[in-house]
Amino acid sequence: MAMHLITGMKAGFYAGNTLKLTEDIGILQPTLFPSVPRLYNKIYGKIKDGLAAKKGVISWLANKAVSAKLANLKSSGIVTHGFYDKIIFKKMKALLGGRVKLMITGSAPIAGDVLDFLKICFSAPICEGYGMTETCAGSVITFQNDPQTGIVGGPLQNVKIKLRDIPEMNYFSTGTPEDPTPKGEVMFWGPSIMSGYFKNPEKTAECFHNGWLLSGDVGLVYPNGAIKIIDRAKNIFKLS
């Protein structure tokens, strides 16, 4: 909401019935579509049901188109196809109004196969973000054309990130002899990090380690700097 006000974007509002969200989206025809996994999963299910109902040659062609585009996505990150987009995916893209150029997801985990499928259906990249309320929301995000799913990308300019060792869980920022990949609790530092909880110094002290904000999430860092969330350091469960 803040970014669209700053940049002068138009914003659309749904009619009030969550069961008709996809209808509202089709009318609004967004070019940028930030959403949450729960809605993406709903759209994914609707498209999957539609494909399952196809018969004969149409079913064969649709499955061939999905396979071809998924293969291109995995090999090169390309989400478009000169032939299949016109005869198969045009109607799917219309579910989001037909004009979407970029989608963003965050707030909860989403399955990699769902992300891949939606990318090829809407012929648009989906960036997955990661952050906390205490970091002023999104602080990590994937590149638009990254073919890899299951990661949350690298840090934005508002934060620095490092890993804290968790010996009791066998996670070490230097890796282990069996697995050299750095793993540990994700910690944030930067100008967007909160100064503390209002009138709650005890809770504030619990959330910082040597000036770095503790996320409670365990991440691993790939050689290219991309982060993947793999575990929880704290026993907190977040619903979709």
CATH of the domain at 163: 2.30.38.10
Query: What are the tens digits of pLDDT across the range 181-222?
Result: 999 999 999 999 999 999 999 999 999 999 999 999 999 999
How many angstroms separate the CA atoms of 103 and 144, rounded? 9
Q: Which residues contact 4 (CB under 8 A, 6 or more apart)?
A: 10, 11
At 12 the pLDDT is 86
Query: What are the tens digits of pLDDT across the range 64-100?
Result: 999 999 999 999 999 999 999 999 999 899 989 999 9
Q: Are residues 59 and 96 in the same domain?
A: yes
CA 114 to chain centre: 11
Compute CA distances 213 → 70, 135, 210, whole Å. 38, 8, 9
Number of domains in the chain: 2
Query: What are the tens digits of pLDDT across the range 4-63?
Result: 788 888 888 889 998 888 889 989 999 999 999 999 999 999 999 999 999 999 999 999
Q: Select from 91, 124, 157 the last residue of a domain.
A: 124
Residue 214 lies in a domain: yes
Confirm if 162 and 199 have CB atoms less than 8 A apart: no
Q: Select from 92, 124, 156 the last residue of a domain.
A: 124
Q: Are residues 117 and 8 in the same domain?
A: yes
Q: Are residues 161 and 76 in the same domain?
A: no
Helix (H, G, I), strand (E, B) or coil at 59: helix
Q: Are residues 67 and 158 in the same domain?
A: no
Q: Are residues 10 and 95 in the same domain?
A: yes
What torsion, rounded to 10 degrees, do the Cα atoms 71, 72, 76, 82 define?
Answer: 180
Query: Measuring CA to CA, which residue among 47, 33, 40, 29 is closest to residue 99?
Result: 29
- Which residues constitute the domain of residue 30? 2-124
Q: At what angle do helices 112-122 and 56-76 cross, to 10 degrees?
A: 110
Q: Which residues contact 181 (CB under 8 A, 6 or more apart)?
A: 175, 220, 221, 222
CB burial of 147-159 (b: ≥16 within 10 Å; e: otherwise) equals eebebbbbbbebb
Q: Select from 72, 95, 124 the last residue of a domain.
A: 124
Query: What are the tens digits of pLDDT across the range 157-186?
Result: 999 999 999 999 999 999 999 999 999 999
